[in-house]
Amino acid sequence: MSIRVFIPTPLRPYTEKQDTVEVDGSTVEEVLKNLTLKYHPLRQHLYSEEGLLRSYVNIYVNENDIRYLAKEKTPVHETDSISIIPSIAGGIDVEVETEEEVGLSNEEILRYSRHLIIPEVGLSGQKKLKAASVLLIGAGGLGSPLALYLAAAGVGKIGIVDFDVVDETNLQRQIMHGTSDVGKPKLESAKKSIKDINPNVTVETYPVRLSSENALDVLKDYDVIVDGTDNFPTRYLVNDACVLLGKPNVYGSIFRFDGQITVFDSKRGPCYRCLYPTPPPPGLVPSCAEGGVLGVLPGIIGTLQALETIKLILQEGEPLIGRLVLFDALKFSFREFTLKKNPECPVCGTNPTIHQLIDYEQFCGIAPIAKSKINFHEPEISVEELKQRLDRGDDLFLLDVREPNEYEIANLGGYLIPLSELPERVSELNPVQEIVVHCKSGGRSARAVKFLQQNGFPKVMNLAGGITAWSQRIDPRIPRY
């Protein structure tokens, strides 16, 4: 019996770029087993070394999470479909000032006139928007359309947490920033853009890295929190802080051509941990910097987050509480899945075990910087030292672990084996040769070095900073991307 399996963008490289595949099986377990037999590289992304289905990969039969059915023993029939959803986060009462406490000037009435003539918004709803406060975590791809549309809609106070500066690579998707802003703090250009759209909006900026020490203080005075982050430790941090404070969390995530959006609210539905109890191991799920993202995608998902935020404030429509929407830009398809509150969730379940914020980098398997320097076992070589050794003719083997499309953009002439293919192609390398591994900035190559060391390669080094550092400090003719 053949079952259709939907493959998300991050996993399509392992299924010959197919978005759906037909696999035989009468249960989820049989289907997934046959799927990974047919596409062997996919197995490490679905199953742990112990052979258990990874907890950060959710499997749905039609629109139902198998965790609330018969798990992997869930039977399937020819009319069913299976969806793999990896992690890449009636109305609701939002506590804002009463409409009597705010007023609208004649200028504001004219500005928001298209809102005011909508019965579901009207004068009362526009006052709710003006009285509301929304905190955006991140001023990047998702934060840009969020900030601009919330400001245009008349949200009275917008807070933004970000500590980064504008880089040329941001401009392809982060529409809040321009070419003249390169090198400047993102908060500076963000505030300028917001004020230019709507000078009536109060903008609070937080030039800090959100942490367990400051998150509760930063989030506590806002009505709605919108998560536009790009890393797992901050995702879990924001979720737990929202649960502890009783705040709704408008979640969005993007990768390549895929987007996810939902509203987490532990008072009325599940939280992020209910969907993804544990994070993926460091490095297994690539970031947008490593895997890329279509520039328009954060505009789509960020705008949908802005829509959900406005609905929460207005207390109109049906927020995405308990519903996860997946957007596939290549197929232009939206699919909705039901999310359920996990009674055993450690932060929002029946008997929670998390009552305060924890060390989220440790939880996600990321060693603190200070410790990582002490315990760092992957030997490194700087771009300057590599240049010197190449110039004097040392016998070095350059191994490039990026993807083929990255190699086409820029390369150092190294031997290309993408990191995902390294376990199956390791026999192509000479274990007695001195190998220098590199990627774009050093993350993937560090993982490759560790893998090679564990498999009998004693003379292997990581190029610190990768090809980006080589372009910046050795040869600017090499394009940066």
Q: Which residues participate in catalysis according to the annotation?
A: 288, 439
Other Cβ atoms closer than 10 A to 206: 18
Question: Where are the strands (E) in 219-365, listed by range?
Answer: 224-227, 249-255, 258-264, 323-328, 333-338
Rounded CA separation 356/339 (Å): 25
* Contact criterion met (CB below 8 Å) for 230 and 287: yes
The string of DSSP letters for 333-355 reads EEEEEE----TT-TTTSSS----
Q: Under 8 Å CB-to-CB from 98, ≥6 apart: which residues?
A: 131
Instruction: For strands 333-338 and 323-328, give the pairing.
Output: antiparallel
* Helix (H) or strand (E) segment spanning residue 398: strand 397-400
What whole-number distance in Å separates Cα of residue 162 and Cα of residue 378? 31
Q: How far from the centroid of its chain's Cα atoms is residue 43's Cα?
A: 22
The three-point CA angle 205-206-210 to 5° equals 145
Task: Determine the straight-line distance between the first and last CA of the chain, rounded to whole angstroms.
Answer: 46
Reference 181, options 169, 167, 191, 194; nearest CA is 167
Q: Cβ distance 377 to 424 under 8 Å?
A: no
Rg of the chain in Å (alpha carbons):
24
Give yes or no for a contact between 194 and 203, defined as CB atoms under 8 angstroms apart: yes
Using CA atoms, how far apart are residues 450 and 460, in angstroms rounded to an integer? 9
| Residue 61 DSSP one-character state | E
Q: What region, left, alpha or beta, does residue 303 occupy, with left being phi > 0 and alpha being psi -120 to 50 degrees?
A: alpha
Residue 59: partners with Cβ closer than 8 Å, 6 or more residues away: 28, 32, 53, 65, 66, 72, 82, 83, 84, 85
Distance of CA 343 to the CA centre of its chain: 25
Structure tokens at 167: 């880089």
